[in-house]
Amino acid sequence: MTPIQECIKNNNHKIKPIWIMRQAGRYLPEFREIRSKNPDFVKLCLNENLSSEITLQPIKRFDFDAAIIFSDILMLPYGLGQEVKFEKGLGPKLGELDLDLIANVNKDEFSKKLNPIYKSISNISSNSICKNKDIIGFVGAPWTILVYMINKMSPKKSLSKEIFNDKLFVKELLSVIEKFLKIHIENQIKAGATLIQIFDSWAGLLEDNISKFIYEPTLNLVNHVKKFDVPVICFPRGVKDYKIFCEIVKPDMVNIDYNIDPKKIINEIQIPVQGGLDPKILLTDKENLNTEAIKYLQIFKDHPYVFNLGHGILPETKIEMVQELVKTVRDFK
Ligand code: CP3
């Protein structure tokens, strides 16, 4: 059994697998090299040879226990025909949203558009470097995808609350998003993903209607993944109460963000836990990194735990700090 599956399915707390969110990314010189020759990010995600190569880059360097496929949560709106662009320093920019067009996209058309992603997963799962490693497929949670599709850019820049006023529109859009997220999940599993992670990066933005926008649609996705006997990890970043989230949504494992007190979580949550370390710790020094990483390892010593961060690794992170982190986790007894 692959390491994360072993943690989840056998409740094994003796192994501490490690991988890192955004491990295939800009902190790696070999990624930056490919990226500099490929200015169009979406095209890069749809180049199955390059996306396979990028997925394997962090595995070759650090021998992580899991490979996460190089793609993006915004490939879903792209697959539905909404334009998606990534501009330097601006983050993602999405085009006009036409609900009538999107609601009429058919399953085959969508799957065909995203087919290089599935081919890349299948390449990776048959590569000997990934023997006994988890292959992580992923999607954005319905709420986070809804926010990007309506807001057309990162809500970090600005989010107009009025866009949620048209309740019928939002309801219909959410249902189309959910339908295609299920298809995208199923396609990734059929291509060889051994695990699915659901990223709800903007869960923390919502104050009301958490059931309608977060619990219910995420539970629907979690139940969908479970049908394939593949474990599912949820990352509801910033959500106020992880305990309630886990009780309602019932993922197989939960990734905590760096604002969560791990000591509190261990008393509240029975399911396997992943992550937590603040990515900014990797920008400090080795001594501090060791102290902070060991804190998580100690707290989760007797709990099924996968080492990871509390959000994506920062582009300015030095390679040697990642090496140090992997060594600390592997040496921990
Ligand atoms: O984890 C991995 O290594 C796999 C690939 C992956 C990417 N994005 C590649 C990427 C994954 C799992 C994601 C998830 C993702 N994408 C999320 C959820 C996780 C999170 O960070 O909260 C979100 C919200 C997105 C949307 C997105 N994609 C944003 C906001 C940005 C721009 C911000 C930034 O970091 O530059 C991206 C671009 C992106 N996705 C890059 C990578 C490697 C950087 C692209 C570049 O080279 O410019």
Cα–Cα distance between 29 and 171 in angstroms, integer?
43
Question: Could you tell me the distance, in angstroms and rounded to a whole number, from the CA of residue 167 to the centre of ligand 1?
Answer: 29
Question: Could you tell me the distance, in angstroms and rounded to a whole number, from the CA of residue 11 to the centre of ligand 1?
Answer: 30
258-262 contacts, C-beta under 8 A, 24 or more apart? 258/309, 258/310, 258/311, 259/310, 260/310, 262/295, 262/296, 262/299, 262/300
Cα–Cα distance between 110 and 78 in angstroms, integer?
9
Closest CA to 201 of 246, 146, 251: 146
Question: Could you tell me the distance, in angstroms and rounded to a whole number, from the CA of residue 216 to the centre of ligand 1?
Answer: 25
pLDDT digits (tens, 9 = 90+) for 184-234: 999 999 999 999 999 999 999 888 889 999 999 999 999 999 999 999 999
What is the total count of domains within the chain?
Answer: 1
Question: Could you tell me the distance, in angstroms and rounded to a whole number, from the CA of residue 301 to the centre of ligand 1?
Answer: 30
Range of the domain at 129: 3-331
3-state secondary structure of 153: strand
What does the pLDDT average to over 18-32?
Answer: 97
pLDDT digits (tens, 9 = 90+) for 263-312: 999 999 999 999 999 999 999 999 999 999 999 999 999 999 999 999 99
pLDDT of residue 156: 84
Task: Confirm or reject: Cβ of 35 under 6 Å from ligand 1.
Answer: yes
The maximal CA–CA distance of the chain, rounded, in angstroms, is 57
Residue found under tokens 């979580």 = 265
Backbone angles phi, psi at 129, to 5 degrees: -60, -25
CATH number at residue 88: 3.20.20.210
Pocket probe for ligand 1: among 18, 22, 61, the residue whose CB has the most ligand atoms within 8 Å is: 22
pLDDT digits (tens, 9 = 90+) for 29-39: 999 999 999 99
pLDDT of residue 159: 77
Task: Confirm or reject: Cβ of 22 under 6 Å from ligand 1.
Answer: yes
Residue found under tokens 């979406």 = 42
pLDDT digits (tens, 9 = 90+) for 105-130: 999 999 999 999 999 999 999 999 99
Question: Could you tell me the distance, in angstroms and rounded to a whole number, from the CA of residue 72 to the centre of ligand 1?
Answer: 6
Reported confidence tier of residue 182, pLDDT bands at 50, 70, 90: very high
pLDDT of residue 305: 98
| H helix or E strand, kind and range, residue 289 | helix 286-299
Task: Confirm or reject: Cβ of 173 under 6 Å from ligand 1.
Answer: no
Tokens for 55?
């997925």
- The DSSP secondary structure of 69-112, one letter per residue, reads -S--TTHHHHHTT--EEEETTTEEEE----HHHHHT--HHHHHH
Cα–Cα distance between 117 and 241 in angstroms, integer?
34
Q: What type of residue sits at position 218? A: T
pLDDT digits (tens, 9 = 90+) for 129-174: 999 999 999 999 999 999 999 999 998 877 777 777 788 899 999 9
